[in-house]
Amino acid sequence: MPSETEVSTQVHTLETSGHKTLPSDYRIIKRRQCSEEFERSYLVYDYLDLTEGTRRAEQLNDCRKFAWFIRHKTTGKLKVASNGCRLRWCPICSKARSYHITEAVLKWIEGLKVSRFLTLTYAHSDAPLHHQIESLYKHFRQFRKRPLIKRNIQGGIWFFQVKKSTTDGKWHPHIHILTDSKYLDKSIYSQEWFATTKNSSIIDIRLVRNKKKSADYVARYAARPATLSEMSLTENIEVVTALHGKRLFGKWGSAKDCQIGGHVFAEAADWQKVGSYKHCIEHYFTDNRAKKIIDTWQNDGELPENVYFFELDDNKSRELNPDMFGCSLDDIELEGVP
């Protein structure tokens, strides 16, 4: 749900400029929110397509190409359902994923008396990124199996983050873990990490005080482990290639029921379509039904059951079906007012 400030801004925008702020291509709205990251991801996929014979740049370009206004059958509330490309480095899909991960992680840590935030890392090194990532994963697995660690950490959610150091320009991969754990002194974690890696004792452990903030942090990086626009294109290609096929987050022990990998559109039967996004925008000034749908959506209102606006050849059914989105129902993302 948008905050009160966001709603009042939208209402103000609507009163002064109507739907003129809305482009008829829904992709433009979504890309505006992440234009630099989108452009960088496109360039990376375009480059990798050439060498790998894939068509991921095209797939990225089609993300949110198909968009429909849909109405909740009981509440009358409107959302936009659009196709997600589900590419790992698509910033639009990353944002949608992070929203769902936040919800799941928050639910888990709210059930814990105490949770702690542990970070494991290496000293900066000249080793190629993919070597560092491989060994970090391996050491993390070994670390979790150490008897002292096993006794103290009942479970956790881990995620991966990679940065380029601004001081020495070296790669700086680390693993963050939100833990369900007993108290263990920082120096002991440090000794255990050193005993695992044989060369790094660099750890950080702190108590989680703000659960929502921690869940947001986990979700942001679990959904997108690096910010591509902070690096050069060559570095982007190195990160994307080094992480290809690697898991970016996981869970174990008491966190195993946390639904961080699940997806969104199980409730398709609760919704009905009321018109394509493009068609409604294009007819805002010429058809009252289109105007009503868009005004209701922008004001987070409730649309009566009998209002819908379809193109002539598309008025047979109001049920959602995957064909409208060029993807499966599981690939569809639901969104409120942007």
Q: State in angstroms the smallest separation of the CB of 60 from Zn ion.
A: 6
Q: Would you call 316 exposed, middle or buried from its count of C-beta atoms within 10 A (0-12, 13-18, 19+)?
A: exposed
Task: Evaluate the CA torsion angle 269, 77, 211, 123 in order and state its sign.
Answer: positive
- Letter for the amino acid at 125? S
Which of residues 193 and 277 has its CB atom nearest to Zn ion in the complex? 277
- Letter for the amino acid at 85? C
Q: Which stretch binds Zn ion (CB under 5 A): 56-64, 255-263, 313-321, 326-334?
A: 56-64
Determine which helix (DSSP H) or strand (DSSP E) holds 192, and give its type and residue range.
Answer: helix 186-197
Which of residues 10 and 98 has its CB atom nearest to Zn ion in the complex? 98
User: DSSP string covering 121-154, please?
Assistant: E---B-S-HHHHHHHHHHHHHHHHHSHHHHHHEE
Rounded Cα–Cα distance for residues 141 and 247 (Å): 13
Which of residues 223 and 303 has its CB atom nearest to Zn ion in the complex? 223
Residue 85 in the binding site for Zn ion (CB under 5 A): yes
Rounded Cα–Cα distance for residues 299 and 282 (Å): 19
Q: State in angstroms the smallest separation of the CB of 335 from Zn ion.
A: 12
Which of residues 88 and 251 has its CB atom nearest to Zn ion in the complex? 88
Residue 92 in the binding site for Zn ion (CB under 5 A): yes
**CA distance readout (Å), 3 to 10, 15, 30, 337:** 11, 19, 19, 11
Q: State in angstroms the smallest separation of the CB of 98 from Zn ion.
A: 13
Q: Among 190, 193, 172, 160, which residue's Cα sits nearest to residue 127?
A: 172
Residue 34 in the binding site for Zn ion (CB under 5 A): no
Q: How many CA atoms lie within 13 A of 14 on its CB side?
A: 18
Q: State in angstroms the smallest separation of the CB of 226 from Zn ion.
A: 17
Q: Which stretch binds Zn ion (CB under 5 A): 22-30, 60-68, 75-83, 123-131?
A: 60-68
Residue 63 in the binding site for Zn ion (CB under 5 A): yes
Residue 29 in the binding site for Zn ion (CB under 5 A): no
DSSP H stretches of helix in the chain: 4-17, 26-32, 35-52, 56-61, 91-110, 129-145, 147-152, 186-197, 211-223, 233-243, 277-282, 288-298
Residue 90 in the binding site for Zn ion (CB under 5 A): yes
Q: Which stretch binds Zn ion (CB under 5 A): 83-91, 223-231, 259-267, 311-319?
A: 83-91
Q: State in angstroms the smallest separation of the CB of 27 from Zn ion.
A: 10
Which residue of 44, 70, 80, 93 would you call a contact of Zn ion, by CB under 5 A?
A: 93
Q: Which stretch binds Zn ion (CB under 5 A): 47-55, 57-65, 135-143, 157-165?
A: 57-65
Residue 264 in the binding site for Zn ion (CB under 5 A): no
| Residues that bind Zn ion in the complex, under the rule CB under 5 A | 63, 84-85, 90, 92-93
